[in-house]
Chain A
Amino acid sequence: MTIRLGVPSKGRLMEKTCDWFAGRGVTLSRSGSDREYAGAVEGIGGVSLVLLSAGEIPRELATGRIHFGVTGTDLVHEKLPRWEQQVEPVAELGFGFADLVLAVPRAWIDVETVDDLDAVAAAFRQTHGMRLRIATKYHRLVREYLRQSGVADYALVDSQGATEGTVANETAEAIADITSSGETLRANHLKVLSDGPVLRSQATLWRSRTAQTDDDDRAVVAEFLDRLAV
């Protein structure tokens, strides 16, 4: 048995993850060609590397197919109900910062807070005979946030990409999406509600609470955590 570590298979998230581990004397590398989704871990014995899409890592952690994994807080919270019972955050890695925010057209000068959004939703339903649409791919997180904030008369519409464009295309009146700098929102004449984000996210190293370990594995886990100084 070895300890399996899942990391994002491409992009800046993968590069930064490799840098973070390298800074702690653990080298992550692909074993063969650039297209192969398996890799090697050098600098510590008994750990193997699994390259996965960041979006699959929460589920792999929850089922226990990997012992450790690197992915964003947003994805863990959205994809895993009762995530606290399935995974445990080991370390926040200090990159991949992104907030899940609610945004409305900047021209809505009467809307500042989620409280305003609720009042506008009530009036919108009366005027248009339909509920105010919010485009997002984070259905669970957004619905839970709006329920806790007591917002009614809205409808979530699914948007898996180019969410900022849905308002101009008249397929939604507002959006909930991940933003790091807010530039795309500004370019699309949208503004963020002032109550604060639905969720603050960053790349995080998670440990699975369900993955099986034997005595040897536990020794490896201890050494691994010790090496990472977390």
Chain B
Amino acid sequence: MTDRAQTLARAAGLRAVFEAAGAVGVETPVLQPAHTLLDLYGEEIRARAYVTSDALRGEQMLRPDFTVPVVQMHMAHGAEPARYTYSGEVFRRQEHDPDRANEFIQVGFEVFDRTDPAAADAEVFALIAGALSPLRLRAATGDIGVLMAAVEGLKTTAPRKAALMRHIWRPRRFRALLDRFSGRTAMSRTREALLAGDLPGAEAPLSGRRSAAEITARIETLREDAATAPLSTEEVRLLDALLGVRETMPYALEQLRDLSVDLPQIAPAVARIAARAGALEARGIDVQSLPFETNFGRTSMEYYDGFVFGFFSPDRADLPAVATGGRYDALTRRLGQGREIPAVGGVLRPGLMLELEAAQ
């Protein structure tokens, strides 16, 4: 086990690296208002964060990450462009694995800069990769934006696209929706009866806040959806092929370009990935051997909507990622109440770095 003083010293060292790269050091409170995090992440955050409360301020959460408070701080009074670094404890409630830490030190680097997103992505990735280079970790990269673009451009109705978009981060539900919209899942008999006007239960008294008008509206939506042509087998096949891309960057780009012939909606996102690869190369990253996986980052709770990356120990599959990060333009939109600024960042865990170094 590494001790706390060593971890803090390493955290200070990493912070100095980011400060040398132009970042301003910032601090955030440990107690965060729970409603902001609940609004963003939903009820699932309760399984991941410690919740406490008092009579005056209501529910508070022990900071589960720095990104949200740093974005809020920047949106409230930051000047553009801005680079921030921070370090400190984050707290994660653990309900399954007693070996996972419930409190650990994170060091982060965040860039708010709208001039050149590809360059900003590469700047964050290269700085973090540099700090980790002695550990010889396995890097993983992906791009949530390419999948979002593919969904946005499907030849189907707006409600179906919205339903798929809402579940991009929940692969199982996404798959179930895709099966339903492409007619691979048959409609249940009771649902057929409902759409045919047979309404068992309609006589039951309606209580609660959901109104009869809302129920009628949903039945109308279901009728419209039932009358909508299924997603074509070809489109589903292309989407599956897109989700299956898992290659080193040059081959991944080749596959993505091939796919964009039939899925023209992804062409701008693929061009962004290519521009990022160029920017990474300019920063000295070995792009030839850098992995790219369309599915990477889809199960994390974070609000990433473009570039995503992680660094993992190849020998210690039991450890969580040593560093993770990505682009979260949508988060700044949600927190900025109308304003937005492209943002990208990442965090490292100095405690895990020390543990891996000790084993080397």
Contact = CB atoms under 8 A, between A and B. Distances in A.
Interface of A: 81-82, 105-110, 112-113, 115, 118-120, 122-124, 127-128, 131, 139-140, 143-144, 146-156, 167-168, 170, 172-173, 189, 191, 194
A107 B202 contact: yes
Interface residues of B, number: 41
B214 A109 contact: no
A82 B210 contact: no
B98 interface: yes
Most buried by B among A82, A109, A150, A152: A109
Nearest to A85: B98
A107 B204 contact: yes
B52 to A, nearest CB: 15
Given A107-B201, A140-B95, 8 more contacts: A105-B204, A106-B204, A107-B207, A109-B199, A118-B173, A140-B47, A149-B173, A168-B207
A110 B170 contact: no
B205 A119 contact: no
B314 interface: no
B96 A82 contact: yes
Top 6 nearest A-B pairs (CB, nearest first) are A150-B173, A106-B204, A107-B206, A150-B170, A168-B207, A107-B204
B31 interface: no
Interface stretch (B21-29, B186-194, B231-239): B186-194
B120 to A, nearest CB: 30
Contact of B42 (A110, A152, A170): A152
B44 interface: yes
B218 A120 contact: yes
B218 A110 contact: yes
A82 B218 contact: no
B188 A112 contact: yes
B201 A115 contact: no
B207 A156 contact: no
Nearest to A82: B96
Interface in B29-79: 38, 42-44, 46-47
A152 B202 CA distance: 26
B38 A155 contact: yes
Given A123-B218, A150-B173, A155 B207 contact: no
Contact of A119 (B47, B96, B218): B218
Given A106-B201, A150-B173, A123 B206 contact: no
9 contacts: A82-B97, A108-B215, A110-B222, A120-B210, A150-B170, A150-B176, A151-B173, A152-B170, A154-B42
Contact of A110 (B188, B207, B209, B219): B219
Contacts of B219: 109-110
